[in-house]
A and B are shown apart, each in its own frame.
Chain A
């Protein structure tokens, strides 16, 4: 079985982002970019399924500019077999458009399982996997903390508000990853070198016949109203007195 893993290039999780003073967005110039952490977990899961003999091929896909090829190379260096870049110059592509593009890629690739990150840490949308499942008419299991792949079905344990829940999905299916599914590996230097020779194909929204134009207009982006640091107290009794004063006890 082939597993497809869509990956997104985002601001590195350790970067403290800056909002542009003119309200036009977040300053991405000269900021460290990385693979979205949830997508790393998705790649790792696919690789483990392949190593366990349950999958035959792992294909990583990204939608973005030339730079997204770096993110795909990261996936290849982790161990994916092949990569596809859906190249677009758009500053951002909305989840609905991403889902449509992935659907078109899937029509060519026919994977048995698609594993995505549950959300991207830039727009925090948490939509793409569910939308893709809808467009394909496939079942979905979001927020996965455990994936057990069978021949014609997959059992997925999900992190839900009250605890954990397990669903069985008929294949082909969509799974989105939560933090505790696995701990992604680092790419070794030899594997980074090897990844440079692995196939990376390019296509485009036009070739795939998908209209990727946005539906939402971002009117402005601002910094949240910040909190200011309060006071450090010396004793527990002072704290209790302050909390009483504040009326929260």
Chain B
């Protein structure tokens, strides 16, 4: 049979999470189709068609799919499920929201946030905030899987798959979209950034967070992340949170500034290639995972680092 993946997008742009999910899906060894569900999302379908390894793109375009609410989106995926023995969904907020709904409608047990495909029915996934890795085998007829995005490289562009239009589902009217308050930023996206500068509780205020973290991030063309404490205190918006219950990232360079390194934070960043910690407490647990550490006051060191990089 074949594998269906759900494309991550905002109706205008195909998100890189899709190409990473494709890499995981291709490891199952079956042909892969990509479902683009949205409203006026033709450009996204065309972009998905260019990913190497895609057999075909299914474009479902209609009002009910505009904000990818779980109810119509799950109905759509379930209506296609008969032709697939695996449904692979990115571990984004949209994917995590809809995939279990699909799994339950199909009466299968979802495998969440896989980090490795061992064989077509066996997968590795982190549990306990990444403090243990479990290998699980599925006995279900259809496998419904979400993918830990940071664990897979993006599939390359270079394909030319056909785009087939399919009907959008009706809307049960059980839910409706009221509005959104999305961050707008010129910075790279946290989930796919090569460099991340992350700030913690030690920054002390939203103003200081901006004043100290932003110039360094600008200098490095980095995305900005934050600890839960920084988000809870209102120094940074919720979508910047890195960790067990925030975003899981694996950039080439992660700079943790005034972050103690609680296990829940480490869960979101310990697979980064190079980790730098700046903390005035030399015993802070963040130093146990950091490649390079500076034990010093961030309010002097970070501006100095920004300046040194500018030269």
Interface string of A145-185 (1 = CB under 8 A from B): 10000000001001111111111111001000011100000
Known: A217-B137, A227-B270. A248 touches B71 (CB 8 A): no
Closest residue to B128 on the A side, CB-wise? A17
A159 in contact with B181 (CB, 8 Å) = no
Known: A165-B180, A233-B292, A243-B292. A218 touches B253 (CB 8 A): no
- Option from B101, B128, B292 in Cβ contact (under 8 Å) with A26: B128
Interface 9-residue window, one of A53-61, A62-70, A92-100: A92-100
- Give A86-117 interface residues, CB cut-off 8 Å to B: 94-96, 99
Minimal beta-carbon separation of B140 from chain A (angstroms): 5
Minimal beta-carbon separation of A137 from chain B (angstroms): 8
Known: A17-B132, A232-B287, A236-B294. A167 touches B175 (CB 8 A): yes
A13 to B265, CA, bound (A): 12
B133 is an interface residue with CB less than 8 A from chain A: yes
B166 is an interface residue with CB less than 8 A from chain A: no
A131 in contact with B104 (CB, 8 Å) = yes
Minimal beta-carbon separation of A213 from chain B (angstroms): 10
A17 to B131, CA, bound (A): 7
A160 to B93, CA, bound (A): 5
B110 in contact with A127 (CB, 8 Å) = yes
Interface string of B124-151 (1 = CB under 8 A from A): 0011111111111111100000000000
B74 is an interface residue with CB less than 8 A from chain A: yes
Interface 9-residue window, one of B155-163, B202-210, B300-308: B300-308
A248 in contact with B173 (CB, 8 Å) = no
> Which residues of B pack against A, CB within 8 Å?
10, 67, 69-71, 74, 92-94, 96-105, 107-113, 122, 126-140, 173-183, 191, 195, 220, 228, 231-232, 237-239, 244-245, 247, 252-253, 263-264, 270, 273-276, 282, 287-295, 301, 304-305, 308-309
A130 in contact with B98 (CB, 8 Å) = yes
Interface 9-residue window, one of A1-9, A77-85, A118-126, A191-199: A118-126
Q: Provide 21 A-B residue pairs closer than 8 Å at the C-beta atoms, listed in order of the A residue.
A: A95-B109, A121-B128, A121-B244, A123-B127, A126-B100, A142-B97, A159-B238, A160-B93, A160-B239, A166-B177, A168-B175, A169-B175, A173-B174, A217-B139, A218-B135, A231-B292, A232-B294, A239-B305, A240-B305, A248-B195, A249-B220
A126 to B248, CA, bound (A): 14
Which B residues touch A99, using CB under 8 A?
A: 104
Which A residues touch B309, using CB under 8 A?
A: 240, 249
A94 in contact with B128 (CB, 8 Å) = no
Which B residues touch A159, using CB under 8 A?
A: 93, 238-239
Which A residues touch B287, using CB under 8 A?
A: 229, 232
Closest residue to B293 on the A side, CB-wise? A232
Known: A163-B181, A219-B136, A248-B253. A236 touches B71 (CB 8 A): no
A158 to B228, CA, bound (A): 16
A135 is an interface residue with CB less than 8 A from chain B: yes
Known: A127-B112, A236-B304. A166 touches B179 (CB 8 A): yes
Known: A124-B126, A223-B132. A163 touches B183 (CB 8 A): yes
A215 in contact with B104 (CB, 8 Å) = no
- Option from A142, A163, A168 in Cβ contact (under 8 Å) with B96: A142
B238 in contact with A161 (CB, 8 Å) = no
B274 in contact with A224 (CB, 8 Å) = no
For the complex of A and B, list the 6 residue pairs with the smallest distance between their C-beta atoms, beginning with the closest.
A130-B100, A215-B109, A131-B104, A230-B291, A134-B104, A139-B174
A95 in contact with B134 (CB, 8 Å) = no
B231 in contact with A180 (CB, 8 Å) = yes
A139 to B107, CA, bound (A): 18
Which A residues touch B134, using CB under 8 A?
A: 218, 220-221
Interface string of A131-143 (1 = CB under 8 A from B): 1111100111111
